[in-house]
A and B are shown apart, each in its own frame.
Chain A
Amino acid sequence: MQRIGVFVCWCGSNIAGTVDVQAVSEALKNEPGVVYSTNYQYMCSQAGQDMIKNAVKEHNLTGIVVCSCSPRMHEATFRKTAAAAGLNPYMVEIANIREQCSWVHKEMPIGTEKAIILGKAAIAKVNLNTPLIPGESPVTKRALVIGGGIAGIQTALDIADAGFPVDIVEKQPTIGGKMAQLDKTFPTLDCAACILTPKMVDVAQNDKIRIFSYSEVAEVGGFVGNFDVKIKRRARYVKEDVCTGCGACVEKCPMKKVPNEFNLGMDNRTAIYIPFAQAVPKVATIDPNHCNMLKNGKCGLCAKVCAAGAIDYKQQDEIIEEKYGAIVVATGFNPISMDKFDEYAYNQSKDVITSLEFERLTNAAGPTAGKLLRPSDHKHPHTIVFVQCVGSRCAACAEKGKEYCSKICCMYTAKHAMLTRDKYPDTEVYVFYIDVRTPGKNFDEFYRRAVEEYGVHYIKGMVGKVVPEGDKLKVQASDLLDNKQLHIDADLVVLAAAIEPDKSARPLATMLTASMDTNDFFTEAHPKLRPVESPTAGVFLSGTCQGPKDIPETVSQAGAAASKVIGLLAKDKLTGNPCVANSDELMCNGCSSCQRVCPYGAISYIDKEFRMPDRTTKIRRVASVNPAVCQGCGACTVACPSGAMDLKGFANEQIMAEVDAICK
């Protein structure tokens, strides 16, 4: 039997004004388990807390009920008080007689009656409370960043800067991501490479950071502070630690007709290749689908010319196992496929391109060495039509486009239009828009400059169709403000394709038990207050895997994710919330209902041996809750048909006792 002390707070006149506190403490004196009951003006004051501490000692209390303000206000305070008096802090219950009683009821008798009932419910619960001790788990002081774009790079640099080792897993042969493909960045028109490549070099030179390029995450186990990750390093047929990146092999490789993915297929590369000049790590990779040596054993030229002897045709995929304390997802985005947009003739004409292709066409390291030439005939285009929102804000057909706004297109289109007019003033540039969205520092100024200073024709309306005719592209569009249909003979059409999360994100989310929205963007733990954390403890989000973002936003989110990771890794031990689910193995029948509803993947199954009454043993599959991962929502307790699953601190018995006390 518990020895419970009841402490009724007046809260000045806040409670005492409508509740007869004296009557409440008197009435509760005779409840089961109560050995002491009193009231005081301010229970939360130092004097009030001392009163509680003294009573614990004097009356040997095992449980405390404080009838006061909301537990959201002072539960933590009174738990500390209890702990100071040597009691387990979870032996404290609060009866909320201020917010939910004295403040909402006006008449003293009614308020007093309800306060007594609320007090009784709290006493009934404390009678069934058990001391709870938060679990502790160690923290592996190493972070994993999945994705080596600007988001992953920035996160890794920031974490390493705090002194923690970081591994980056990147599925391409080099880090750098989409930003490495860009030419200039809005609204400042910095050269993307000039600001990105120094960061890539920093990563390469930082001894806290390891880069697993050409690699993928294959399996994730464990939980916050203790993730076990298997990383698959795909064979690149070149010894990474031996290759000097001299490029002799690339020069000699006879297979020169492989579409170059870095330039989006607008030119060719060799079968052994280094994606671009500033690649990190700067090592060659052999594309097994095109290498003659790997396909049919003939050639071997690269091995012959490699002075370092780095070529290894026998290399195999390799699985690395590593432990991590925290995981950052930075899987980024891709432009959506234009295949379904027949009206824009993307598949019919080489001169209809996406904006990312346009970036490569204007980039000095691109297929045209920075000269703006049409892909079809390498002539200078004189009339360029930009079409915005291609596949963005498209609610009609999920296969075709995305319902959301891709956020970055308005600004990069303004940039493209402006740069084109700047370099080639003889070019007419049309931008067809639905809305121009420029919320950002210096964004609207930038867009207005494109219109006012550079004379870009912004037309409110959409392009309806593009028809290739001769060497022209017949563009039919509407001008809604003039209420006219326009027909433009264009030389080049640039489509601002919507962006979508990388395809690898969905299987990764499953591995991480991190939730995703219907568009495959990762869900944040709270949309406003915890934007860089995933609901799964220890998994953080960086960059466009969480939603469309421009570079400054991505970098700030990357820094925020890093600071969360640092906060986690700085701890030696993680203290959990002790109010977690707990499965009674004797009653669990292993049906898996609880596992299905757990949003955190905290429940796993173990085969457990039970002694039967007839002295035989029986092995049964039973649920086991990982208290470090469980957040204590209780979804599993209701899904469990056998009542084996219960929630500490909010046990079935405790809640029923409250129900009984209220309904008595």
Chain B
Amino acid sequence: MQMKEYKPLIVAFCCNWCSYAGADLAGNNRLNYPADVKIIRVPCSCRVNPMFILRAFQKGADGVIICGCHPGDCHYTSGNYYTRRRMAALFSMLDFLGIERERTRVEWVSAAEGAKFAATMNDFAEKVAALGENKRLEDLRCKK
């Protein structure tokens, strides 16, 4: 087997109104973060179904992060409040099953927080990289 440098694969779900714009701002300001982070645009963080997160892990993601507007700033007034409850419950459950808690995260990033977006992604990627490959929640068949 060929030894390759381990690079974590990170899926970031970003809400269209705040965090996706925050990611754009990070780009505008040329703030670096690892290319391992791939962003999926959703209208609101409350669109993120736990099934999407599990699916990402199944297909080989090493970490999943969900970014939304700060509580109280949701474009749809209350979406991120639901996200907060759902993800609190889900993450607690994943932890209960013994999945490393550092693999999942929710972060509130506003459209003005390009720097926070980049810093969050750097930090998250670093934490996930430290955990190594996601063995506990991964479908081995799908791995090449």
Binding site for B on A (CB under 8 A): 70-72, 96, 98-101, 103-106, 110-111, 113-114, 117-118, 121, 515, 523, 525-526, 535, 579, 597, 599, 631-635, 637-639, 647, 650, 652, 655-656, 658-660, 662-664
Contacts and interface: CB of A to CB of B under 8 A. Distances in A.
Contacts of B49: 637-638, 652, 655
B38 A121 contact: yes
25 contacts: A72-B16, A72-B24, A96-B24, A99-B23, A100-B39, A101-B35, A103-B30, A104-B27, A104-B33, A104-B35, A106-B32, A110-B35, A111-B35, A121-B38, A526-B75, A597-B78, A633-B46, A634-B79, A638-B48, A652-B49, A652-B52, A659-B55, A659-B59, A662-B9, A663-B142
Contact of B56 (A535, A633, A659): A659
Given A632-B43, A650-B47, A660-B59, 13 more contacts: A72-B16, A100-B24, A101-B35, A103-B28, A104-B27, A111-B35, A117-B38, A597-B82, A631-B76, A633-B47, A638-B48, A652-B52, A659-B61
B89 to A, nearest CB: 12
Given A535-B77, A638-B47, A638-B86, A72 B42 contact: no
Contact of B40 (A635, A637, A652, A659): A659
A606 B80 CA distance: 29
A535 B78 CA distance: 10
A634 B44 contact: yes
A121 B46 CA distance: 21
Contacts, number: 134
Interface residues of B, number: 43
Given A103-B27, A118-B38, A663-B61, A650 B43 contact: yes
A96 B76 contact: no
A662 B77 contact: no
A113 B35 contact: yes
Nearest to B62: A663
A638 B38 contact: no
A573 B35 CA distance: 45
B125 interface: no
A663 B134 CA distance: 12
Contacts of A658: 40
B51 interface: yes
Given A599-B78, A652-B51, A104 B31 contact: yes
B46 A635 contact: yes
B140 to A, nearest CB: 13
Contacts of A110: 35
Contacts of A106: 32
B26 interface: yes
B108 interface: no
Nearest to B26: A104
A323 B49 CA distance: 38
Nearest to B31: A104
B127 interface: no
B118 A104 contact: yes
Nearest to A70: B24
B128 interface: no
B41 interface: yes
Given A104-B31, A652-B51, A662 B43 contact: no
B137 interface: no
Contacts of B52: 652, 655-656, 659
Nearest to B57: A663
Given A111-B35, A121-B40, A72 B27 contact: no
Contacts of A633: 43-44, 46-47, 75-76, 79
A658 B56 CA distance: 10
A497 B103 CA distance: 53
A526 B76 CA distance: 9
A625 to B, nearest CB: 14
Interface of B: 9, 11, 16, 20-21, 23-24, 26-28, 30-33, 35, 38-44, 46-52, 55-56, 59-61, 75-79, 82, 86, 118, 142
B124 to A, nearest CB: 15
Contacts of A639: 82
Contacts of B30: 103-104
Contacts of A72: 16, 20-21, 24
Q: Which 9 residue pairs are nearest across A and B when measured between Cβ atoms?
A: A99-B27, A634-B47, A663-B59, A633-B76, A103-B27, A635-B46, A99-B24, A633-B44, A114-B35
A106 B32 CA distance: 8
A69 to B, nearest CB: 9
Given A663-B56, A663-B61, A634 B42 contact: yes
Nearest to B33: A104
A104 B35 CA distance: 8
A635 B44 contact: yes
Contacts of B9: 662-663
Contacts of A98: 27
Contacts of A662: 9, 11, 38, 40, 56, 61
A105 B32 contact: yes
Contacts of A599: 76-79
B115 to A, nearest CB: 12
A663 B11 contact: yes
A205 B29 CA distance: 58
Given A105-B32, A113-B35, A638 B43 contact: no
Contacts of A637: 47, 49
A70 B39 CA distance: 12
B27 A635 contact: no
Nearest to B59: A663
A258 B29 CA distance: 70
The winner among B30, B39, B75 for most chain A CB atoms within 10 A is: B39
Interface centre among A71, A101, A635, A647 (most CB of B within 10 A): A635
Contacts of A650: 42-43, 47
Contacts of A579: 43
A639 B43 CA distance: 16
Contacts of B23: 99-100
Contacts of B86: 638
Contacts of A523: 77
A90 to B, nearest CB: 14
A70 B23 CA distance: 10
A104 B46 contact: no
A177 B61 CA distance: 61
Contacts of B59: 659-660, 663-664
A631 B78 CA distance: 12
Nearest to B144: A664
Highest count of chain B CB atoms <10 Å: which of A523, A525, A633, A664:
A633
B76 A635 contact: yes
Contacts of B38: 114, 117-118, 121, 662
Contacts of B11: 659, 662-663
Contacts of A663: 9, 11, 56, 59-61, 142
A535 B76 contact: yes
Contacts of A111: 35
A587 to B, nearest CB: 15
A517 to B, nearest CB: 10
A515 B47 contact: no
